[in-house]
Amino acid sequence: MAGLLPLEVLDEAATPLLRLVLPREKRDRLARRMAGVAPRRRCPVWSCVAQGLVVVLIDSEAEAVLCPRHELVYLDGRRVEGQPMFATAAW
């Protein structure tokens, strides 16, 4: 069991001075990618039936799923290592 997600959601009111700046081409690619994915899907881990949030990893631009049980996993079920930044169309 992976446990609870070590994520903190920071809303804009809590961080009024923080803005994430991406190169325009990367931002546009991420936006196009997010427009083409469903906001939620079943976790790709074969034994898991949880619905996860679809995300796109900022660095690699790979699609992954944020599962409440398995944290971040690639679409082939492998765990995403580290604490990558990711974009999501919904929260």
Residue whose CB is less far from Zn ion, 70 or 86: 70
Burial of 89 (0-12, 13-18, 19+ CB in 10 A): middle
Using an 8 Å Cβ cutoff, are 50 and 74 in contact? no
Whose Cβ is closer to Zn ion: residue 41's or residue 69's? Answer: 69
Which range, of 1-9, 28-36, 54-62, 67-75, touches Zn ion by CB under 5 A? 67-75
The enclosing H or E element of 56 equals: strand 51-57
* Residues that contact Zn ion, how many (by CB under 5 A): 7
Is residue 56 involved in binding Zn ion (CB under 5 A)? no
4 or 35: CB nearest Zn ion: 4
Residues at the interface with Zn ion (CB under 5 A)? 43, 45, 48, 50, 67, 69-70
